[in-house]
Amino acid sequence: MTAPAAATDLPVLKVDHLTMRFGGLVAVDDVSFAARPGDITALIGPNGAGKTTVFNCLTGFYKPSVGMITMTRRNGSRFLLERLDDFRINQYAGVARTFQNIRLFPGMTCLENLLVSQHNTLMKASGFTFAGLIGLASYRAAEKAAIDRACHWLEKVALIDRADDAAGDLSYGDQRRLEIARAMCTGPELLCLDEPAAGLNPRESQELNALLLAIRKEEGISILLIEHDMGVVMGISDRIVVLDYGRKIADGTPAEVRADQAVIAAYLGVADDEVAAAEAEIAQ
Amino acid sequence: MAEVARPVEAGAQAAGAVRVAAAAKDALLAALVAGFLAVPILAYRTIDGQTSLELVERWPLVALAVGSVFAGRLLLNLYWSAEHVPGAGAFAAGLAPLRFALGGLGRYLGPIVVALAFALPFMPFSNRYIMDLGILVLTYVMLGWGLNVVVGLAGLLDLGYVAFYAVGAYSYALLSQHLGLSFWICLPLAGILAAFWGILLGFPVLRLRGDYLAIVTLAFGEIIRIILVNWQPVTGGPNGLSGISRPSFFGLEFKADCEPGTFCGFFGVAHSPLYRIVFLYYIILVLALVTNFVTIRLRRLPVGRAWEALREDEVACRSLGINTVNTKLTAFAIGAMFAGIAGSFFATKQGFISPESFVFMESAIILAIVVLGGMGSQMGIAAAALAMTAGVELFREFELYRMLVFGIAMVLMMIWRPRGLVGSRTPSIALKDRKAISSDLVKEGHG
């Protein structure tokens, strides 16, 4: 038995034996992994491997059939995410996410999008609407701070000039970046990004890499990302977890994962002679 | 040159022939449809004969109808063809400034309209009829603004809104009859009670969306009405409640005897029933303006932004830590509160209420006002309420065609302005300049 690790060494996110069944289909099968604080952890795998299902379990959109998901915040408080309501996971546990198919509020401006994400802070400042309704100075100050925070993030993602434009009017790449800014405005300690580079051109992917590294460095938060773009994954991840058919097949640094036979087999398939050998084995 | 021109001419001629043929074919089809409709409607007419019911044949009329449809459609196809539709473009262009006036210049238009509304009782043309109509319009403006919170902002389709109006009306009637409370105390109480019922309705429909939400809210509206009809000992059943006390002017009653404690006695003027009407008019005007003020204010607060975000994308809301349950319930409660306040005003104005006043048709009219006005737009809803109530009143002369005109107007609206009179959304906050957001981007909400 080793001595209990200090709070800072505890993984920010620990997933234990996570299983998600939909009827007879096992989408995620006994997956365990951990994300260390300050790391960028990537979750990769072929289509249908169960990556987004893991995300949906983490962020409360699905209740896992089996398993435990522990989130440890910087102040040492711990949350069992599988027991929290989806909105509380963001509010209390400090987990924010983006979506594979962008889910902005298209009819609201970029600024409004970022203010909505600071709802809980502003709601408290507005005395649950009553103080805000009569226009107390304390609320106005809080609103000013929220706008400043939103502007800070708009500048960070280079969308400050479009603050008053509808989010639905932005180009695809801009929408992706706005969604990251919106998630960051909730003040998370773990940012979960579901395919942030999907649909981006190589230059935009490079910019995204720089943005994610900057967020990690300046905010000191941990990032969990699902990605198919290997340029992004290999370039910025500290650790990679590979899923295939709902099972974890590899877990390690980019270099380790790149050399892993199971990963190569999952992504590229296996050579014909190996298949023949396996079939012969079965036939016996 | 001529050699070149000839084939072009021939081509044009051929194209023309094709066009005429297509136009004739289309007109024939229209005539066929007209024939199908005309035969059962026009061909036979029953009249009271001396001994029995007799059938009169009117085939020439059918021929006339079919012929005129054919000719009209043919002419329309030939001279007003789809390639150059002058009507649609001109109509849209004509509406553009109106839209601009309603949306962009709303800042100036608003105060002007409010000033006109305040001055209305002192206008030379104002009389009892105008004042009654004004009260009616303003009641619907207030109801429209209240429902706008639920439908326009939060995107929750509510077909049973009149239930809260009824709750407010009966709350006031019962509280004043049994406890002797005055109108001014009952007004907020009725609002709170209606808000409570709004929350009560909110709980079962939290998980419902779209059509299902609409059906359950519709049923809720009917349940309230049926309770009012059947709970005779309390609500008086179909006979309703009468003798509901009228509001007093700061303690001064409006009575004809002009005793010291009455309005005419205190001010030393001759009694006129018009004073009370004008007083009621100002009450509803102020109540409507308060509704407007509160709604505009709420829209700029986190709760209002959360309502709109909920309309745009509920899943994203939850991922951002917004408690969607509370957000939906507050929308229902605040919408219901305004309806309750309007209901208690309705009760004191009428002096008599019965379940007859709270049928589904009322919910439908209020919803039509919100949809017609442009969801989420305060100015548009006021304009729509004016059109839907005063406009319908104006057509009273043409009783027979009133619903027809109404129907045609609705169809035209849905073609040209499917998102209502004010089809754009004004952002709740702006860094530099407020740009109207096109309705193409704004979601209607799924419930």
pLDDT tens digit sequence for A117-164: 988 888 877 777 777 677 777 788 888 888 999 999 999 888 888 888
What's the rounded mean pLDDT across residues A97-116?
90
Q: What's the pTM?
A: 0.80
What's the rounded mean pLDDT across residues B102-127?
76
- A133-144, pLDDT tens digit by residue? 777 777 888 888
B445: left (phi over 0), alpha (psi -120 to 50) or beta: left
Q: Where are the beta strands (DSSP E) in A127-221?
A: 190-194
The predicted complex's ipTM stands at: 0.85
Q: List residues of chain A with CB under 8 Å from any CB of chain B.
A: 59-61, 86-91, 96-97, 99, 103-109, 111-112, 115-120, 122-123, 126, 129, 132-133, 147, 151, 163-166, 168-169, 182-183, 186
**% of chain A at pLDDT higher than 70:** 94
Question: What is the pLDDT at residue B106?
Answer: 55
Pairwise pLDDT comparison (B445 vs B317), residue with the higher score: B317
Question: What is the pLDDT at residue B10?
Answer: 62
- B369-418, pLDDT tens digit by residue? 888 887 778 888 998 898 888 877 777 777 777 777 777 877 888 787 77
Question: What is the pLDDT at residue B91?
Answer: 55
Question: Which residue from B294, B322, B427 is facing A87, i.e. has the nearest CB?
Answer: B322
Could you give the CA distance from residue B347 to residue B336 in angstroms, rounded to a whole number? Answer: 16
What's the rounded mean pLDDT across residues B30-54?
84
Could you give the CA distance from residue A179 to residue A114 in angstroms, rounded to a whole number? Answer: 9
Contacts of A159 (CB under 8 A, 6+ apart): A110, A170, A174, A177, A178, A181
pLDDT band at B248 (very low <50, low <70, confident <90, very high): confident
- Own/partner pairs for B231-234, CB < 8 Å, 24+ apart? B234/B174
For residues B288, B293, B295 and B298, what is the CA-based torsion angle, rounded to 10 degrees? -160
User: Which residues from chain A sit within 8 angstroms of residue B444, using beta carbons?
Assistant: none
pLDDT band at A3 (very low <50, low <70, confident <90, very high): very low
Contact, B82 vs B92, CB < 8 A? no
The H or E element that residue B303 is part of is helix B302-312
Question: What is the pLDDT at residue A90?
Answer: 81
Is 90 exceeded by the pLDDT of residue B306? Answer: yes
CATH architecture observed for domain B96-438? Orthogonal Bundle (1.10)
- Candidates B205, B180, B152, B128; CA nearest to B368 is B152
Pairwise pLDDT comparison (B355 vs B101), residue with the higher score: B355
Question: What is the pLDDT at residue B93?
Answer: 57
User: Which residues from chain A sit within 8 angstroms of residue B315, using beta carbons?
Assistant: 61, 99, 103
Question: What is the pLDDT at residue B1?
Answer: 45
What's the rounded mean pLDDT across residues A96-106?
90
CATH of domain A7-94+188-279: 3.40.50.300
- B123-173, pLDDT tens digit by residue? 888 788 888 899 999 999 999 999 999 988 888 888 989 999 999 999 999
Minimum distance, in Å, between the CA of residue A24 and any CA atom of chain B: 26
Question: What is the pLDDT at residue B98?
Answer: 57
Half-sphere exposure of A241 (CA within 13 A, CB side): 25
User: Which residues from chain A sit within 8 angstroms of residue B298, using beta carbons?
Assistant: 129, 133
**% of chain B at pLDDT higher than 70:** 87
pLDDT band at A1 (very low <50, low <70, confident <90, very high): very low
Pairing of strands A13-22, A25-35: antiparallel
> CA-nearest residue of chain A to B325?
A87
- Own/partner pairs for A246-254, CB < 8 Å, 24+ apart? A246/A26, A246/A27, A246/A28, A246/A29, A246/A31, A246/A49, A246/A50, A246/A53, A247/A29, A247/A30, A247/A31, A248/A31, A248/A32, A248/A33, A249/A45, A251/A33
Question: What is the pLDDT at residue A72?
Answer: 87
Could you give the CA distance from residue A69 to residue A18 in angstroms, rounded to a whole number? Answer: 8
User: Which residues from chain B sit within 8 angstroms of residue A183, using beta carbons?
Assistant: 319-320
- A24-46, pLDDT tens digit by residue? 888 888 889 888 888 899 988 88
Query: What residue ranges of chain B are covered by domains with CATH 1.10.3470?
Result: 96-438
Interchain contact, A112 vs B438, CB within 8 Å: no
Is 70 exceeded by the pLDDT of residue B302? Answer: yes
Question: What is the pLDDT at residue A265?
Answer: 83
Question: What is the pLDDT at residue B112?
Answer: 84
Question: What is the pLDDT at residue B330?
Answer: 92
Contact, B374 vs B160, CB < 8 A? no
Minimum distance, in Å, between the CA of residue A178 and any CA atom of chain B: 13
Pairwise pLDDT comparison (B120 vs B224), residue with the higher score: B224
> Roughly how many angstroms between the first and final C-alpha of chain B, as a whole number?
66
Residue among B149, B294, B301 with most chain A CBs within 10 A, to mutate: B301
Could you give the CA distance from residue A133 to residue A36 in angstroms, rounded to a whole number? Answer: 43
Give me chain A's average pLDDT, please: 84
Give me chain B's average pLDDT, please: 82
Residue among A112, A120, A149 with most chain B CBs within 10 A, to mutate: A112
Is 60 exceeded by the pLDDT of residue B4? Answer: no
What's the rounded mean pLDDT across residues A243-263?
86
Ranges of each domain in chain A? 7-94+188-279, 108-186
Question: Which residue from A90, A116, A147 is facing B305, i.e. has the nearest CB?
Answer: A116
